[in-house]
Amino acid sequence: MQIFIDTADIDEIKEAQSLGVLDGVTTNPSLVAKTGKPFEACIKEILEVVPGPVSVEVVATDHDGMVAEAKTFASWADNVVVKVPIIREGLKAIKTLSDEGIKVNVTLCFSPMQALLAAKAGAAYISPFVGRLDDISTDGMELIQQVVDIYGNYAYDTEVLVASVRNPLHVVASALMGADVCTLPLKVIDQLLKHPLTDKGLEAFLADWEKVEKG
């Protein structure tokens, strides 16, 4: 399973890269706004340091506007993936862009039928938002299983990118279900490393080594 970081903060991205496990980056307008940087400058800074897929989201809500923004973003680097919301005009834009060879990450997916339509339109990635479903007392991971199963039934090439991940349990479940990608905030990436027995074991090893050193 690929691991993406969900941020537009260049320092967080570099920290995740230093761990040697980062495959790509997802951004959205809210994440870019948090950086306080101009949109284009922020994205281009990320593209300079990330060789893997970098998702950049359109803000237009009509077909022509989405396509125009997407073409601009795609001109910035070969690894740009354009994020498009799964709305009626978005579905049209997904088809247009995929036909032109521009990779699309379909965002704001909350149902298996939205995911099916996105795949049929040629999406490179589908991003079901599991945490937001959990927030309204719905099992977000059930949606991931449904999408993985549906795509498997018909051999769609669209990759399942688990988004709105809130904790390591989401990551474990995604891997067991066979999702292609999880996009995580840095906090959750750090949590994947944590286990109290690891810390306890290391503490014991170092204490014993200090005894050996002292003879």
Q: Phi, psi at residue 167, to the nearest 5°?
A: -160, 165
Mean pLDDT by 10 residues, the chain (215 residues): 98 97 97 98 98 98 98 98 98 98 98 98 98 97 98 98 98 98 98 95 91 77
Is-contact 16 9, C-beta < 8 A? Answer: no
Q: What's the pLDDT score for residue 215?
A: 66
* Residue listed under structure tokens 């005894």: 211
Identify the residue whose tokens are 């688990």.
162
User: Strand, coil or helix: what is 5?
Assistant: strand
Distance CA 56, CA 29 (A): 8
2-214: CATH, from 3.40.50.1820, 3.50.50.60, 2.60.120.1440, 3.20.20.70: 3.20.20.70
Residue with tokens 């893997």: 52
Rounded distance, CA 35 to CA 89, Å? 29
Q: What is the pLDDT of residue 89?
A: 98
Q: What gap in Å lies between CA 94 and CA 118, rounded to an integer?
A: 7
Domain boundaries, the chain: 2-214
Q: Is 53 strand, coil or helix?
A: coil
Strand partners, 105: 83, 125
pLDDT reported for residue 164: 97
- Residues assigned a catalytic role: 83
Which segments of the chain are extended strands (E)? 2-6, 24-26, 54-57, 80-85, 104-109, 125-128, 159-162, 181-184
Determine the pLDDT at residue 211: 83
Region at 189 (left for phi over 0; alpha for psi -120 to 50; beta for the rest)? alpha
